[in-house]
Amino acid sequence: MSSTNGQVIRCKAAVAWEAGKPLVIEEVEVAPPQKMEVRIKILFTSLCHTDVYFWEAKGQNPVFPRILGHEAGGVVESVGEGVTDLQPGDHVLPVFTGECKECAHCKSEESNMCDLLRINTDRGVMLHDQKSRFSINGKPIFHFVGTSTFSEYTVVHVGCLAKINPLAPLDKVCVLSCGISVGLGATLNVAKPKKGSSVAVFGLGAVGLAAAEGARIAGASRIIGVDLNANRFELAKKFGVTEFVNPKDYKKPVQEVIAELTNGGVDRSVECTGHIDAMISAFECVHDGWGVAVLVGVPHKDAVFKTSPLNVLNERTLKGTFFGNYKPRSDILSVVEKYMNKELELEKFITHEVPFSEINKAFDLMLKGEGLRCIIRMDA
């Protein structure tokens, strides 16, 4: 039994006190886990653009002070009442969405959008009692998407934890908590390209490159990368991208360019930017009769998707996906095993590493558009 079991733990956390201001390393109190909760020691975390988006708080409700972070790997320290499938010492990946295993979505083979634990970016407290497990001198500090991994210890609902192979290196597989799984699953689980097929990927950031990686694993023969930043094209070759299209180089819509390059359109497309024009292009660039377009990027809440109904009637299919259609507790273990079996290459996504004390450097790198994933070592 852990000596900290049932006790308040004092540890370091990077607190966002207000929008857009550097995070501050503070000593926080982390309360014991309550019913259906687990307290975990975070060993490695990484920075995802979603953290930056909510730290900037330009397009959503500002919830501060807050502990951000949602891509991470850690070890279970203690468990709360009702938790039976995890125990201290287990290696886990916290995930921003969950799997209660009891709702209609969780029981469906087709959906991973859990009714109970679906992402809620405004909720800064735990479900059990609507209270925070973090505090500084008695003042509550809000949670972020149920994970808050920018802390040496955090408390997470058991349904948002994926138990993984203890031999898997947490400093690598932690990136599977969000972005890499999102892009990979969008291709493998939703687009489902056949061996020898053609795939267009819109947006060559970490999620788009993970989508390309999925197309590579599936055996696609042509993987066309579409991006406005020409500097991304060379890196994308490492992820299986075979051709590149920069929409700025053409006077015609990029969907027409792709249709000409592929004799009528690609077999599959995956859109990873969230820009509405790119979404429309991704749908209209797939081949009639069998083409499938998958939307991954999250658009502005007021954006409207417009296309001719004939594009649907001509047997093009438009799909959306949430977390790559992976159920966190049931499926992420198998994604980790893809890495362990050398089928999935994660190292090429990890371009930087910083100690926890320098976490703001990771934000600087992302704001400058440098690199893909920056690993933050909690013990350094």
Active site residues: 48-50, 70-71, 100, 103, 106, 114, 118, 178, 373
Q: 141-164: b or e for each residue (b if 16 or more CB lie within 10 Å)?
A: bbbbbbbbbbbbbbbbbbbbbbbb
Contact 282, 200 (CB under 8 A): yes
Three-state secondary-structure class, residue 117? coil
For 318, the enclosing helix (H) or strand (E) is strand 317-320
* Length of the chain (residues): 380
For 136, the enclosing helix (H) or strand (E) is strand 134-136
CA 341, 179, 305: angle at the middle one, nearest 5?
130
Cα dist from 82 to 3, 4, 48, 269, whole Å: 20, 19, 31, 43
CA atoms within 13 A on the CB side of 266: 33
Contact 145, 169 (CB under 8 A): no
For 252: left if phi > 0, alpha if psi spans -120 to 50, otherwise beta; the answer is: beta
DSSP states of 142-206: B-STTT--SBSEEEEEGGGEEE--TTS-HHHHGGGGTHHHHHHHIIIIII-PPTT-EEEEE--SH
Alpha-helix residue ranges (DSSP H) falling in the chain: 49-56, 104-107, 170-173, 179-185, 206-218, 232-236, 254-261, 276-284, 309-313, 328-340, 359-367
Three-state secondary-structure class, residue 295? strand
Give the integer Cα–Cα distance in Å for 59 and 213.
30
